[in-house]
Chain A
Amino acid sequence: MTSAVELDHVTVRFGAFTAVQDATLSIEAGEFFSFLGPSGCGKTTLLRTISGFIEPSEGQVRIGGTDMRGLGPNRRPTALIFQNLALFPMMSVAENIAYGLRVRGVSRSARREVAERLLDLIALPGHADKRVDELSGGQKQRVAIARALAVEPKVLLLDEPLSALDLKLRQHMRNELRAIQRRVGITFIYITHDQGEALAMSDRIAVMNRGVIEQVADGRTLYEAPRTAFVASFVGENNAFVGTVAEADRDRALVTTAAGPLSGRNLRNLMRTSEAVLFVRPEAVVLGEGPLTGRATEVAYEGILTHATFELDGGGRMTATIPRGAPVPKPGAAVRLGYDPADALVLPREGFAHA
């Protein structure tokens, strides 16, 4: 596998503020790669660095093995799809799609041909001569993709392109995007703060927090074996118990928390007395037995699952998802709660915001 995009210790600063810190990763050709992180964590900044609108303060961006330093966005083999699409309203759909070709001096008839072919690809045949503002949100979305694909980039960069769409359309466009990516076979770098989107579409995901890439892995690994407390709490729902490691060996760690001593897998090899957070997924919580006691405060029936929230006796709260058919606690009732320690994770507390 060849690398399409490599970030080599990339740091981006705006004055004294560091927006991206020491990002190093390698994205493979043909990969659907996502950056996932909360608002303001530096995703757009990183994407603009790859596309050439921002020069890194330190480090190197390589595309197809070539150092991109000093090359402007118009000279990089990337195409960026903006958060707000930025279609040209005074041009027709076909003119929008063919803009990049017009700049390159391609003849009118050849441009038209490419536009028609791309309109077929994005499943909008016959829309060539429409005005942009006559299109629906999802259609605009697809035209923006076609416009970017027209210049045959090696890498397509997408900055939260679905955030403006409603839920239904968003889910439809996820599949659509993935399908388009398979058809054209180029590298997609996708930015989102929506973990569902990232997990559903991506081959691999980089989770970012405050300018730092915390973990790069496929969705399953991020969910099942997060490396940091931030990833554990950001990807999927999680119950967190902050405390100090009391006992530790290679597999297990026992953490002293406000709710009592709890044990879980010690993937990061934490030592005794280190600050730690123990995570238990709601679906791993077992009702009726275990070391914890609490009172159900909210029970929400959601069809296939029931969501229950408990106020724990030692302080703090815990949520559990109860599969259909299993007994559901009554609100206010005292319950024993537990989990299989093999389903719990003990991670360093570092970078974990809410206690």
Chain B
Amino acid sequence: MHSSVGHWLILALPVAVVLFYAAMALLDRRRAPGARPVSFVQRNGIAVSTYLVVAVGVWTVLLIVLPQLYMIDLSFRPRLPPTQMGGPNDVYTLENYRFFLYGSTRSTAAWNTIHLKAFALTILASVAITFLNLLLCYPIAFYMAKAASTTRMRLLMLMLIAPYWVNEILRAFAIRVLLASSGVVNQALMGLGLVSEPVDFLGLDLGLYAGLSYAYLLMMVFPLYNAIESLDRNQIEAARDLGGPWWHIHLFVVVPHAKPGIASGCTLVFMLTAGALAAPQILGGPRTLWFTPIVYDRFYQAFNWPQGAAYAFLLLVACIVFVLATMRVCRLSLGEITR
């Protein structure tokens, strides 16, 4: 009985919300149309306002802020058996972060090269993958937004979306199958006589990068599409009429206009790639360590939650700092991204 509470909740909640909306619609119809409302509460009615405030509040506080704060707090505590938690030994410490740097909670003699390397690789590779994604998606998004007919656009959109109905793990395995030593790609290459021995795509990390690039493609296409779509076609034509070659028009007319979309696409893809778990676990070569599996291992292999929290927090901070810095360089504000 106890275990099924969650199931009931997940089924009943949507029903409750629908009923709530219906009740509000009824309430709304009864109310006589009066003078123009002004404040947030007046504009939306008490019911809607309460709902918005409570829903958003619960969402941000309960589901985002509190757990994160708990994790951050945890990351500054030593690893203790449950009985000692809250006891005299449960003090704030930097030992988890020290471990990340030196591979030991006490000695600072040697660097923790494995983890540091994985961390750097994750950030750098995510940057590269984000950039590659941008280059791949820009022409697609531009074509969909400005060149394609409506039918062709819909078809393309469907073709982009449909593969994402397949779940992430299956997609990663599919790439693994494709690129394995006896996979389709290798067989084709050998059949054509281009190589004599199978290429170890997975060992070379090509599989990993291909999988990661593919995993979040849509996150790049859609913001780009939205941004380019809103560009007045006449501006492109005006630039062309004034003699602009195509690359110049893209670089100086389309891209500046699409900058918020580019930024939001890049941010999304970068964050998701750096935090990806399935693709690195499935496609990672034997010698490559992506940072997220390490974090995962801290929690579940080493059973060291404080250390896992510290690692996860480090990754988060690094990503945020990186994104903010990039936006600063591109002279973009956070508000523009969400336009």
Contact = CB atoms under 8 A, between A and B. Distances in A.
Interface in A33-80: 51-53, 72-75, 78-80
Given A82-B234, A84-B232, A90 B240 contact: no
A75 B256 CA distance: 25
A100 B242 contact: yes
User: Taking each of B235, B241, B245, which has the highest tally of chain A beta carbons within 10 Å of its own beta carbon?
Assistant: B241
Interface string A160-194: 00000000000000000000000000000000000
B257 interface: yes
Chain A, interface size: which category?
A: 20 to 34
B240 A72 contact: yes
Nearest to B233: A86
Nearest to B255: A90
A205 B245 CA distance: 34
B86 interface: no
Given A84-B232, A88-B235, A90-B256, A51 B241 contact: yes
B239 interface: yes
Contacts, number: 60
A74 B244 contact: yes
Nearest to A80: B241
B238 interface: yes
B241 A74 contact: yes
Interface string A86-101: 1111100000000110
B248 interface: yes
Contacts of A90: 256-257
Contacts of B235: 86, 88
B253 interface: yes
User: Taking each of B237, B243, B248, B252, which has the highest tally of chain A beta carbons within 10 Å of its own beta carbon?
Assistant: B243
Nearest to A83: B234
Contact of A103 (B237, B243, B256): B243
Interface in B224-268: 232, 234-235, 237-245, 248, 252-253, 256-257
Interface in A205-259: none
A104 B238 CA distance: 15
A88 B257 CA distance: 9
A94 B283 CA distance: 52
Contacts of A100: 242-244
Given A74-B240, A99-B239, A86 B232 contact: yes
A271 interface: no
What 8 pairs across the A-B complex have the smallest Cβ distances? A86-B234, A100-B242, A86-B238, A90-B256, A73-B241, A82-B234, A74-B243, A103-B244
Interface of A: 51-53, 72-75, 78-80, 82-84, 86-90, 99-100, 102-104, 147-148, 151
7 contacts: A52-B241, A80-B237, A82-B238, A88-B253, A90-B257, A99-B252, A102-B252
